[in-house]
Amino acid sequence: MRQTERVRPTSDLERAERARAGGGTPTLDFERETPYDAYVRTGVLHSLQRPLSDAPGEMSFLVVTQVMELYFHLVAHELGAAQESLRAGRSDEAAGALRRTALHLEALNAAWRGLRWMAPSDFNRFRDLLGEASGLQSGMYRLVEFRLGLKSEALLRPFRRSPSGAALRRAFAEPSLWDDTVALLARRGHDLPDEVLHRDPRAAYEPHEAVERAWVAVYRDGPDDLRRLGDALAEVSEGFGDWRHQHVAAVRRTMGAKPGSGGSNGLAWLERGMARVVFPELWSARTHM
């Protein structure tokens, strides 16, 4: 059954009439599932928590991980919307999507609090049952990274046979959010070389002093819409950086420097990844402002 068949649209007039007829009390009788369940798909959501052990911490670990996956999906969606707006030259619309993204990242980061109680003894009660499952294998998180400009072809390999593989390969081959931002700066009159504007979007991004100069000029002379765009990008960069920092802290707290479940060296691998800065010239330009 399609979602539009499960949830019947209504109107202001119908809602007012229902409230009048019921004396202001909520509707309590439905022929089938409640409209809320039909729209949110609560039955599906609450059937997805299937712990592998009776360890009291596993349910927390599983639910928080699934919540993070949903937020990765939301963040990837907003980043895609921001890219569409940038390509169409709608800078304020892009900034709006990025401000929403920053708020979603705040909520995503808050999810870590649900695991702060977990010590190594708690995690070890169910860790072995996870097998080779690792956050490294999250296709939605990888999509977020690719759209932010953090690309590495090797990280496509786990998804060669995955349903998410096609979307990831497209995002890897397309310009990133930062590439689209730089292209907009050029269209708005900033002098940027071909090596920046026509680079291979699959390659790891290398900062360029011309892009840095463009941001210095934006913050010195405007226009205001590009300043707003820069501020929104900075919020996203900070929020994403906070997530990576808290990920490292959570791994350090629950497993120290032990090898990761997915075959990496765990903490050291994550710490190396944090050295890759999102939107680098937006930050380095501040030295010259």
- Hey, what are 266's tokens? 């765990």
Q: Give the residue numbers of the binding site.
A: 127, 247
Distance CA 116, CA 250 (A): 7
Task: Enumerate the known binding-site residues for heme.
Answer: 247
**Binding site residues for substrate, as ranges?**
127
Cβ-count burial of 116 within 10 angstroms (0-12 exposed, 13-18 middle, 19+ buried)?
Answer: exposed
